[in-house]
Amino acid sequence: NAGVTQTPKFRILKIGQSMTLQCAQDMNHNYMYWYRQDPGMGLKLIYYSVGAGITDKGEVPNGYNVSRSTTEDFPLRLELAAPSQTSVYFCASSHRDLYEQYFGPGTRLTVT
């Protein structure tokens, strides 16, 4: 099993550009999450999903969008990138009943 995979690993965006961060899991987990982590800070939940077609906002959803058309994939869309979105983005997944989250390797995004 690959677990949770994320692409790209690194990306530099110009202000106002858009991009999609990809996340996939092969553990048949129902729940998937997107977090951002700023230097020296904890993980902030952006969006999460409890199954295909069901998504909900987390703590810091502004400037982001998600969709979940399959159990395996949970892409995060950044529209009109801003310097405040410079961060490391982690995708995670968990089984419905256990909530133990397994994280992908992360995407380091810089907006300049």
The residues that touch another protein, with contacts defined as CB under 8 A, are: 31, 33, 35, 41-43, 45, 48, 50, 58, 90, 98-106
Q: How many CA atoms lie within 13 A of 42 on its CB side?
A: 4
By beta-carbon proximity to another protein, the closer residue of 82 and 108 is 108
DSSP class per residue in 21-46: EEEEESS--SEEEEEEE-TT--EEEE
Amino acid at 9: K
Question: Smallest distance, Å, CB 62 to another protein?
Answer: 17
Measured between alpha carbons, how far is 26 from 73 in angstroms, rounded to an integer?
9
Question: Smallest distance, Å, CB 93 to another protein?
Answer: 12
By beta-carbon proximity to another protein, the closer residue of 58 and 82 is 58
By beta-carbon proximity to another protein, the closer residue of 27 and 82 is 27
Question: Smallest distance, Å, CB 99 to another protein?
Answer: 5
Q: Are strands 10-13 and 107-111 parallel, antiparallel or unpaired?
A: parallel
